[in-house]
Every structure is written in structure tokens, then in C-alpha cells.
Amino acid sequence: MQLQVIRHDKSKHPFMRGMLAHKLMQRGLSFDQAYQISKDAKSYFQEQIEVTSDSLMQSVDELIVSRYGKGLLKSLTSELFPSGKQICVFRRNANSPFSKGLLTQSITAAGIKPEEAYKIAFDLEEELIKKDIMRISKKKLFEEVFRTIKKNYSFHLAGLYKLASRIDELDRPVIIYLAGASGTGKSVMSTFLAGRLGINKITGTDTIREIMRLVFNRDLLPSLHNSSSKAGVGMPKALDKNARLISGFCLQAQQVSVGVKAVVDRAVKERTSMIIEGVHLFPYMQQTLQEGTKRAYHIPITLSLMNDKHHKDRFLERGKGNELRKKEPYLRSFENIRSIHEYCISESENNEIEVVDNEDFDETTNTLMQLIINTLQEQVKSTLTSKS
């Protein structure tokens, strides 16, 4: 049974590590320290069903002293639980509660580390409550964050934050393309980027291809019904094995690009920003480079895994605990997957599409965020210049 925390008003709330960690960061602990203490607290109370807020606070203080010393405890503020006040953020006729999580997301989009972004959000909430500002416009809130980033970091980062926080207000939608061979981490990265950028729509080329398979049967378009790693089946025998694979893959990607275009056209028409991820984004990404920013801000990127052993390890991990995505077919076709991987990198370099090596998740996400926001900033400036 989950541990319940009994507050002074006798109300009960479930103990959550994340919530405790956030409160500890409000008191002055770093991101890493706060999450370590919250982990310690969960283990400390694992045999109990209920604990009062006072007992929890006292135990947390003891855990801080035990792990980090009395000096750190003395430097922290004593308040652990909030006063119950809730700041309201309004925009036009819409109201929503102040969310440190959402604000942190928009701050990290500028390339600021998550723990530092949390602190900005927490400090701002505390300042507003101290000034008894319980209602603030979204515009004013972002202006406050902009000033803080400009003061403590740089005008450049503040500008990136300003752009990242108003993607939904730009004059045209933002379409991010995340290409790459199977196993390079496109799906995971797309989900993460969508959360940090506030983009609600993600589409995979695998999904587009499945829909197209229902429309065009195997007799009509046989290549569409093969997996990308078996795209060479049915290609001319005069070609060598690798040439058949790449020729078949190019044909398959050309067919899927029809569906990709339809999805993008719909997003542009509805002015909806989105992320499209998948192995079949060539040649459509090349077309977006030729189009420029006429209808949307297009940001094509290719994910890679230069170390082939690490690439193979991703498939071994993928197979654990996921019956629907068995590792064996990928491992059997690994040589073909690497050939497609090399082709994607080569095409990206030929078309000046950025390639990001996805070896380390944190490093890759930070690189992608800065790349996306910087590219978007350049495109927005270019558009404004052409209008003037």
C-alpha cells in the first residue's frame, strides 16, 4: 500500500518521490541532491502506511545531515510544504494554474540544464507568492523568465527561450523531421522533444506506410510491403546485394514520401506544428530544403549511431520486455540496417542536413534542442528580413 502523508489540516496525500524532490529543491538542494534524498526517504518509510508531515520533514532533515552534513542543512530554508496558495496564469479568456513543470520545460528548450531550469521556475513562484501576485498573464510570466535568463546567462539564451516559448504563436507551423536508420532512437527522441517544445503531434513514417499498405495491395506496390531492411527483394538481379538494398529502399521511401507530403500539407493547412520521425524521410527532406519557409519552418535532422556495436546493443535492449518488437528480426538484418544507416548519413551530408550521433541521451537531447531552436531562429529572422 502506498505511503500516505497526513498534513496539518488532517488531509491525506500519497507520498511521491518527484513531489518531495521538487519541494527539497525549493528549500535549496540541487537537482541530484533532492532526488537522492527523496529516494532515501522512500526507503526509510517503506514499512509504514502513514506519516505526518512534521515527522516526514524531521526525517528528511536527518537524511540530509546523514548524507551531506549539518552545514548543508543549515543553509536550507525550513519550509517543506506549501501554503496552499495557487497562482493563476491567464491568456485572453483562458485560465490555468501556474505549473513549474511546464515552465521548466519551456526554459530547458533554450538549452538550460533541467536542474537550473527548475530553480528558475521555483524561485519565480516563490517571488510571486511573496509579492502576493496570485494572478499573472502568460505574457508577463514569460517576460519575467526572459529577464532572469538574460541577467543570469546571456541575451542569446534569453532570445532562444523567447522563441521556444512561443512556437504556437509563430506565423507558420514548425515541422521537425527526425530521420535515421532503425534503432537510432528516433521514437524516443521525438517524444522527448515534443514534450520540451510543447508540440502535441508526432507521426512516424512506419504508421504512414501501414496506412498506405491498406490502400495499395502487394500486387500493386510490392516494395511498399517489405520492411526497409528487406527492401532489396524484387530489385534487378544485375545489381549487387547492397545496390539492390539501397535501390529498393529509395523506391520504398519515394512511395512513402507521398503519404508524408499529405501529412505535412494537412499540418500546414491547420497551422499545426509537428514532429515526423522515421527511416523513410528521404527524399522528402530534400524537397523541404528546396521549398524553404514558404509554408512552414522545416527543420530536418538525421540521427545516427556511428559505433556499430552500440547500434546492435540497442536492438538487444529493445527486445527486453517487449513482445511486440522482437530483437531477432533486427539482429538478422543488422548488416542491411547498417547499410541503410550509412546511406542516410551520406545523403544528409550531401544535402547539408545535420547529423547527430545519438550515443548519449542527455548530450543528444541538449544538442538537438539547441540545433532546433537555433535553426528556427535563423529561419524566422530570414523570413522577417525578406518581408521588410
Distance CA 302, CA 351 (A): 11
Identify whether residues 31 and 97 lie together within a single domain: no
pLDDT-derived band at 143 (thresholds 50, 70, 90) equals very high
Distance CA 197, CA 322 (A): 28
Residues 161 and 149: beta-carbon distance below 8 Å: yes
SS3 357: strand
Residue 302 sits in a domain whose CATH number is: 3.40.50.300
Q: How many domains is the chain partitioned into structurally?
A: 3
pLDDT in tens, 146-185: 999 999 999 988 988 888 888 888 999 999 999 999 999 9
Taking each continuous run of H as one helix and of E as one strand, the counts in the chain are: 16, 11
Terminal Cα distance for the chain, rounded? 64
Distance CA 216, CA 219 (A): 8
In a domain, 191, yes or no: yes
Q: Which of 112, 146, 165 is the last residue of a domain?
A: 165
Identify whether residues 66 and 34 lie together within a single domain: yes
Range of the domain at 22: 4-74
What's residue 320's pLDDT?
Answer: 61
What's residue 264's pLDDT?
Answer: 95
Identify whether residues 296 and 340 lie together within a single domain: yes
The 8-class DSSP code of residue 272 comes to -
What's residue 330's pLDDT?
Answer: 87
Within a 10 A sphere around the Cβ of 8, how many other Cβ atoms?
Answer: 9
Distance CA 39, CA 36 (A): 5
C-alpha cell at 266: 494537412
pLDDT-derived band at 386 (thresholds 50, 70, 90) equals confident
In a domain, 31, yes or no: yes
C-alpha torsion 133→139→145→148, nearest 10: -90
Identify whether residues 99 and 157 lie together within a single domain: yes
Identify whether residues 255 and 269 lie together within a single domain: yes
In a domain, 80, yes or no: no
Identify whether residues 60 and 186 lie together within a single domain: no
In a domain, 15, yes or no: yes
Query: Does 36 have pLDDT greater than 60?
Result: yes
Identify whether residues 136 and 201 lie together within a single domain: no
Identify whether residues 116 and 227 lie together within a single domain: no
In a domain, 83, yes or no: no
In a domain, 81, yes or no: no
Identify whether residues 113 and 242 lie together within a single domain: no
> Which helix (H) or strand (E) element contains residue 97?
strand 94-97
Distance CA 333, CA 230 (A): 8
SS3 133: coil
Identify whether residues 106 and 143 lie together within a single domain: yes
Identify whether residues 113 and 151 lie together within a single domain: yes
pLDDT in tens, 251-268: 999 999 999 999 999 999
C-alpha torsion 258→263→264→266, nearest 10: 120
In a domain, 8, yes or no: yes
Identify whether residues 244 and 159 lie together within a single domain: no
Q: Which of 131, 165, 199 is the last residue of a domain?
A: 165
Closest to 133 measured CA to CA, from 93, 82, 98: 98
pTM: 0.72
Q: Which of 16, 50, 74 is the last residue of a domain?
A: 74
Distance CA 19, CA 31 (A): 12
In a domain, 24, yes or no: yes
